[in-house]
Amino acid sequence: MSPILLILALSACAFPLSAGTGGPAVFIFGDSTVDVGTNNYIKSVFKVNHAPYGIDFPGKTATGRYSNGYNTADAVVKKFGLMNSPLPFLAIANKSSLLVGGVNFASGGSGLLDSTGASSGVVPLSKQIQQFTVVRNNLNDLLGAAKADNLVKKSFVFLSVGSNDIFQKFFLTHNVTSQDYITQLISAYEDHLQVLYALGARKFAISSVPQLGCIPVVRAGNAAGACSDELNNGAQCFYSAIGPMLQNLKSKLTQMQYALANTYKMSAVFSNPSSGLAELKNACCGGGKFNGQQLCLPNAAVCLNRDKYLYWDQYHPTQAAAAIAANTLYSGTTEFVTPINFKQLFEAPL
């Protein structure tokens, strides 16, 4: 891998772990659901570094998160008592002690396949893992091989990816439920996990994909505003195939531990009145039907009661929805997270 220019971009929201804390590191991989600014540093059309994104983030800062505030990556690590997600890989100086606390590699628009989002210049999961290899080598230099091995072994590896692979296939061919395509995605996922395991990772928190057929941009494209059964079936097929793959992988990688979230089924959590969410169809920012026909453009008008909305823009959840999801991931029953939840995974001995 060619040398990568890393830009030092420290802030008051920097990840609070350091070399002296001994706390587990967090490494985050995936797409826009967990991207905290990677796309700000690359030539990609997928950028949200403008208002009103970040309107509810400290300082009303548009950080590159696809949210009105914090996103799912932030909400999950907050459950562990941390401030927010680690900084993006492309925003941390080479060999910085901040690497010890963890790194976020996620890139909005990316997927399991290198072809997903390729024309948009995003960082696919394979390249995110290459970046992790750079971090892994830097940790060896910083801590020594034995301590670096121990840190990575105990680290919490969170992956949220797959939605864009299904979306791209849907918009190109409308054939997202074909067995061949699902098999291709699961095979790629398995390969990626094996590479991460070979690099020392042992604890994998995996979020599947949500009800893709019901997001505002999809509803807006249907005459009656209905969900797309095809996209929803694709999401369900994807989840159904991940479980057996993980079980088989664990039988071969004996130290592997994992928690698999049924993100699709979590729609029931959002629709429960106790969630506090009242608007489940319309986006808070956008335009047209369901606010799903237009992007959330710079300085666009937004809804006032954002904590009541499930969707922030055409595709992404609000900060409030991310917090609700994180609660379920952290302490949910096997109905939503299996075989253990994120809290149990985080605390599990090795």
Q: Tell me the pLDDT tens digit for each residue of 209-264.
A: 999 999 999 999 998 999 999 999 999 999 999 999 999 999 999 999 999 999 99
Residue 141, domain member (yes or no): yes
Whether 136 is in a domain gets the answer yes
97 within domain boundaries: yes
Domain tally, the chain? 1
Asked whether residue 9 is domain-assigned, the answer is no
Q: Confidence band (pLDDT; 50, 70, 90) for 151?
A: very high
Res 24: pLDDT: 84
- Domain range for residue 131? 26-347
Report which of 290, 231, 292, 291 is spatially closest to residue 264, judged by C-alpha positions: 231
In the chain the beta strands, taken as DSSP E runs, fall at 26-30, 102-104, 156-160, 203-207, 257-261, 279-283, 309-311, 337-338
11 belongs to a structural domain: no
Q: Is the pLDDT confidence value at 6 over 70?
A: no
Q: In the prediction, which pLDDT does 7 show?
A: 25
CA dist., res. 207 & res. 141, Å (int): 32
Which comes out higher in pLDDT, residue 174 or 310? 310
DSSP string of 266-301? THHHHHSGGG---EEEEESB-BSGGG-SB---TT--
- Share above pLDDT 90 across residues of the chain, in percent, rounded to a whole number: 88
Main-chain phi, psi angles of 135, to 5 degrees: -60, -45
pLDDT tens digits along 263-307: 999 999 999 999 999 999 999 999 999 999 999 999 999 999 999
Give per-residue pLDDT as tens, 66-93: 999 999 999 999 999 999 999 999 998 5
Q: Which positions are annotated as active-site residues?
A: 32, 313, 316
**Nearest 10 degrees: Cα torsion 34, 176, 248, 256:** -10
| 60: CATH | 3.40.50
Output DSSP code: residue 79.
T
Residues 123, 106: Cα–Cα separation, whole Å: 8
How far is residue 246's CA from residue 256's CA, in Å, rounded to a whole number? 9
First to last CA, the chain: 31
Does residue 59 belong to any structural domain of this protein?
A: yes
How many CB atoms within 10 Å of residue 7? 11
Closest CA to 132 of 114, 108, 157, 162: 157
**Euclidean distance between CA atoms 80 and 16, whole angstroms:** 12
> In angstroms, rounded to a whole number, what is the distance separating the alpha carbons of residues 93 and 40?
16
Residue type, 169: K
Question: Do the domain assignments include residue 106?
Answer: yes
pLDDT the model gives residue 95:
54
Residue 34 CA to residue 36 CA, distance in Å, equals 6
**3 falls within a domain:** no
Instruction: Please state the rounded mean pLDDT for residues 316-323.
Output: 98
